[in-house]
A and B are shown apart, each in its own frame.
Chain A
């Protein structure tokens, strides 16, 4: 059965081939017994051969052939054959991580003659001349491309040698050549990734800037527009500034290992907070992460109108051991991808041919031709006129 799936996109439609017997049956059943007429001039008719043997032969053979062809085409259109396509195997193709900058790419390509063309690494790779796409989920994208014959022997250029793992099994091609611009662990990983959801509090950005100036230059704010883009593998801390009930997506972020920072305007039922650092802060552990909540409104002057705000915030926030958490987060390296290598035999050297428009036009034309033939037939058959041909005097 494997070959069926290797050569048809929807092989379950092939059972329709049984419908080929329908026109055959119709033609067999409608094969009328000879018309009986009385004809006085039969004297001049000379039967040359036994007609009784020929009675088993089907009449209207062109029409029958047309109908069989019509059904076969219909089955073909539904089952969608996978036509072998000589689209290459990706030799000389470089798939570029969209996070790689233009100049970096140019430098990388400078000494390499084995690369004929470069495409963005995404689910449907497109030429490097196309606008830079958003950074993909590498784990998933690579898994998708591994099963595509035309990318089997591509070279892959990533920004980092180490990247966050996904939850699913990663599949890669054994022929891929891996490149990375940064071999060592990226410095990004030594500072927490801070995301902001909701309007930024006025004091936040000056405070972060101050932190960056003083000690950690890589600290930056990443404004988010929707809770759906939250990912505990991408962001470490979330500063949440929307009053009201805690959304489920944010809660999922915390449960996945993130740190949620909010003030008391954000509420959620059944969260067992415990007081931290005197009366100012309370914290709760939710799943693998935790929620830090200030007990007063952080828009009030009493909260932020103080000289040591940046230092104090940093101390409060980093009380959680985010660095260790970041280390414990699953990552994979291009030197030893934690992947199952997809063997060549599992990859169909073909892709579905978009036959459908052509097939549909052919179907329509054949159908019209079939109707033309079928409707013209009765006239020529009852050549004796509009009345009943069986005349028994």
Chain B
């Protein structure tokens, strides 16, 4: 399978096209199982919004009212997947091999592709981007138009601030009133386990949380040498370290933290998928889907 170069991910300006392209490659040979029209009932008109397909515009109504209306149908679906994207400042971490590619950009492409796959099997999806400066929400929905809106919402995101504290997260819980599956995309660089705690609480609330951890290769290998002046994007000031002296300690601490994190999620029967953003997106997505497809009805893919 021909994969997409990291540079392409970094430089893309059309998430919709890119995600459809990647998903198309992954679905090669798969049965088009989506049943168009089945189970879809007209529910309401709603005014046209950017991102809606013009095919959905009700032209008769336009002729009558001289305004664009879109027919909105209630789509019965097996599943609603809520994508939670951590947009704290650490997600702006660029790859050291492909400096133009950040974790956030990778996450955009990854989420858009996943949602196109979900759309292809008729599932609905929503997006919540979190940091302590506020939430960016795309309500639950499905279809091509919704996917386009998702792409637009993803494009607007910027990484800044920290992971929200409990008080801010409290405002989020009403979103999970309806049964849903959640996917938490983050780097899981947490100080007091706040991100995995959130996932655990979702799990406890019966909203299984499938974790995707984004890393850059340098975080796993620490290939630096010499004196380093390190800026932590989520902490003020600089840390000066001798890379060579620190490497062994860092690798040990990092591996321990990864192991700890993986075991926490393993306990929730939601294995952690860690992907390096320099690797092909297709394999990362495939690994994620394979890791969770055994979950029967709760699974994706």
A residues engaging B (CB < 8 A)? 32-48, 51-52, 54-55, 59, 380-385, 387-389, 391, 393
The reply to whether A43 and B191 form a contact with Cβ atoms under 8 Å apart is: yes
B48: CB under 8 A from chain A? no
B197: CB under 8 A from chain A? no
The reply to whether B96 and A391 form a contact with Cβ atoms under 8 Å apart is: yes
The tally of residues in B whose CB lies under 8 Å from a CB in A reads: 41
Q: Specify which of B191, B226, B234 is in contact with A34 (CB 8 Å cutoff).
A: B226
The reply to whether A37 and B189 form a contact with Cβ atoms under 8 Å apart is: no
* Closest CB in chain A relative to B133 CB, distance in Å: 17
The reply to whether B231 and A39 form a contact with Cβ atoms under 8 Å apart is: yes
Q: Specify which of B223, B225, B232 is in contact with A42 (CB 8 Å cutoff).
A: B232
Chain B 151-194: CB-based contact to A (< 8 A → 1; otherwise 0): 00000000000000000000000000000000000010101000
Chain B 218-236: CB-based contact to A (< 8 A → 1; otherwise 0): 1100011111111111110
Asked whether A35 and B93 contact (CB < 8 A) given A42-B232, A45-B241, A387-B99, the answer is no
Q: Specify which of B224, B227, B232, B241 is in contact with A40 (CB 8 Å cutoff).
A: B232
Complex Cα–Cα for A59 and B219 (A): 25
Residue on A nearest B245 in the bound complex, by CB: A48
A41 neighbours in B (Cβ, 8 Å): 189, 219, 250, 254
B257: CB under 8 A from chain A? yes
Q: Specify which of B91, B93, B189, B242 is in contact with A54 (CB 8 Å cutoff).
A: B242
Asked whether A44 and B257 contact (CB < 8 A) given A380-B225, A393-B92, the answer is yes
A46 neighbours in B (Cβ, 8 Å): 246, 249, 253
The reply to whether B229 and A36 form a contact with Cβ atoms under 8 Å apart is: yes
The reply to whether B90 and A34 form a contact with Cβ atoms under 8 Å apart is: no
The reply to whether B227 and A35 form a contact with Cβ atoms under 8 Å apart is: yes
A42 neighbours in B (Cβ, 8 Å): 230-232, 235, 239
A52 neighbours in B (Cβ, 8 Å): 240
A40 neighbours in B (Cβ, 8 Å): 90-91, 93, 187, 189, 219, 232-234
The reply to whether B225 and A383 form a contact with Cβ atoms under 8 Å apart is: yes
Q: Specify which of B96, B223, B240, B249 is in contact with A51 (CB 8 Å cutoff).
A: B240
* Closest CB in chain A relative to B6 CB, distance in Å: 12
Complex Cα–Cα for A387 and B187 (A): 23
B232 neighbours in A (Cβ, 8 Å): 38-40, 42-43
Residue on B nearest A383 in the bound complex, by CB: B223
* Closest CB in chain B relative to A388 CB, distance in Å: 7
B62: CB under 8 A from chain A? no
The reply to whether A391 and B227 form a contact with Cβ atoms under 8 Å apart is: no
The reply to whether B250 and A35 form a contact with Cβ atoms under 8 Å apart is: no
* Closest CB in chain B relative to A377 CB, distance in Å: 9
Complex Cα–Cα for A111 and B84 (A): 116
Complex Cα–Cα for A37 and B228 (A): 7
The reply to whether B93 and A37 form a contact with Cβ atoms under 8 Å apart is: no
- Give 3 closest A-B pairs by Cβ, nearest first: A383-B223, A34-B227, A40-B90
Asked whether A45 and B94 contact (CB < 8 A) given A34-B229, A37-B229, A383-B223, the answer is no
B196: CB under 8 A from chain A? no
- Residue from the set B93, B102, B225 with the largest chain A CB neighbour count within 10 Å: B225
The reply to whether B96 and A389 form a contact with Cβ atoms under 8 Å apart is: yes
- Residue from the set A36, A39, A40, A44 with the largest chain B CB neighbour count within 10 Å: A40
The reply to whether A36 and B99 form a contact with Cβ atoms under 8 Å apart is: no
Complex Cα–Cα for A40 and B232 (A): 5
B250 neighbours in A (Cβ, 8 Å): 41, 44-45
Complex Cα–Cα for A52 and B238 (A): 12
Question: Can you show 15 pairs from A to B with CB atoms below 8 A apart?
Answer: A34-B240, A35-B228, A36-B231, A39-B219, A40-B93, A40-B219, A44-B254, A45-B230, A45-B239, A45-B241, A47-B240, A48-B245, A384-B224, A385-B97, A393-B233
The reply to whether A47 and B239 form a contact with Cβ atoms under 8 Å apart is: yes
Residue on A nearest B278 in the bound complex, by CB: A385
The reply to whether B218 and A384 form a contact with Cβ atoms under 8 Å apart is: yes
A37 neighbours in B (Cβ, 8 Å): 96, 224, 228-231
* Closest CB in chain B relative to A41 CB, distance in Å: 4
B102 neighbours in A (Cβ, 8 Å): 393
